Amino acid sequence: MLKIVKFAAALLAVCLPAGAALAAWELNMPRGATELSNEIYGLHMLTLWVCVAIGVAVFTVIIYSVVKFRHSQGSVPAKFSHSTKAEVIWTLIPCAILIALAIPAAATLVKIEDTRDSDLSVKVTGYQWKWHYEYLDQDVGFFSTLARSSNVARQLDSGIDPASVENYLLEVDNPLVVPVGAKVRVLLTAADVIHAWWVPEFGMKKDAIPGFVNELWFRADTIGIYRGQCAELCGRDHGFMPVVVDVRSQQDYESWLQSQREDSQQARKIETATRLANVEMRSE
């Protein structure tokens, strides 16, 4: 007996610190931060509770039958081998449940595919191994690559502990900036191989395929930084092309867009001037 108590105490001691760590575990899927991710979460919960109800009903009948009609009570098994009535019932009930689940699921799927009436369109192009964001009709476009801090730490023999780097492999130099509450349409393509643009908290992930344009949309409810990664094995540095989306207030977004526009105009002026100077030099 003492042995068992000692063993239980030891087991408890081992489990207690793990219990604290387990507290950080998320067993359920995350709710996400967009209209669509919330709807997907709602569907997931609905399906889960339907499954729980079916499980409870089925196991109640099984346990009741096993206990009530056990051999020691003198139960005699029935001899019939076929019941049309029972088969019709156990076919119709699951069909009705599946149809009831398919209706809200189909409505959400249609909504996911509906990219109409967007407030903003961004063309996202995957490259080995970075992303390019182009704000359509806004004259703004830039590359988004792995942040320098992560890039230095990831090198072989860098001597830097990755755990000491904030948002290791999940930080970029230029994030995608979008306004909060706006319906953002993302047009996805790739320049070399297949990539996939994925931000878990947006509930959306889609392939970026060369020569093909895929669409997705999101409407972020809360201001903040959302992180994701390329989700298609796209080559040697697949793990080094994170996605970072910076959701800002409308005002902050507009001032950011204006400064980006000025930057790209300035860059274009310099490029034109350099080209003209080169032409003049050659013609002299």
Span of 18-26, 176-184, 225-233, 272-280 interacting with Cu ion by CB under 5 A: 225-233
Span of 49-57, 194-202, 242-250, 267-275 interacting with Cu ion by CB under 5 A: 194-202
Span of 70-78, 175-183, 216-224, 233-241 interacting with Cu ion by CB under 5 A: 233-241
Number of residues that bind Cu ion (CB under 5 A): 3
Whether residue 208 contacts residue 193, with contact meaning beta carbons closer than 8 Å, is answered with no
CB of 40 to Cu ion, least distance (A): 24
CB of 211 to Cu ion, least distance (A): 16
Verify binding: residue 132, Cu ion, rule CB under 5 A.
no
Give CA–CA dist 144/84, Å, rounded: 63
Q: Which of 230, 243, 244, 245 binds Cu ion (CB under 5 A)?
A: 230
CB of 207 to Cu ion, least distance (A): 10
Name the helix (H) or strand (E) containing 207: strand 204-208
CB of 145 to Cu ion, least distance (A): 12
* Contacts made by residues 250-258, CB under 8 angstroms, sequence distance 24+: 250/179, 250/180, 250/181, 250/182, 253/177, 253/178, 253/179, 254/179, 256/177, 257/135, 257/138, 257/140, 257/177
Span of 22-30, 70-78, 232-240, 266-274 interacting with Cu ion by CB under 5 A: 232-240
Q: State how far the alpha carbon of 8 is from the alpha carbons of 3, 17, 20, 270, in Å.
A: 9, 15, 18, 75
3-class SS at 226? strand
Give CA–CA dist 91/89, Å, rounded: 5
Span of 16-24, 92-100, 169-177, 222-230 interacting with Cu ion by CB under 5 A: 222-230
Verify binding: residue 195, Cu ion, rule CB under 5 A.
yes
Nearer to Cu ion, 142 or 256 (CB): 142
Q: Which of 33, 172, 234, 243 binds Cu ion (CB under 5 A)?
A: 234
CB of 81 to Cu ion, least distance (A): 57
Nearer to Cu ion, 140 or 230 (CB): 230
Verify binding: residue 140, Cu ion, rule CB under 5 A.
no
E-only strand ranges, 40-183: 120-127, 130-135, 140-144, 176-179
CB of 134 to Cu ion, least distance (A): 17
What part of residues 240-279 is at the interface with Cu ion (CB under 5 A)? none
Could you tell me whether strands 204-208 and 195-199 are parallel, antiparallel, or unpaired per DSSP bridges?
antiparallel
And the tokens for 172? 């970029």
What's at 270, amino acid-wise?
Answer: I
CB of 4 to Cu ion, least distance (A): 54
Q: Which of 203, 184, 249, 254 is nearest to 223 (CA)?
A: 249
CB of 246 to Cu ion, least distance (A): 20
Give CA–CA dist 231/244, Å, rounded: 14
Whether residue 207 contacts residue 188, with contact meaning beta carbons closer than 8 Å, is answered with yes
Nearer to Cu ion, 179 or 242 (CB): 242
- Binding stretches for Cu ion (CB under 5 A): 195, 230, 234
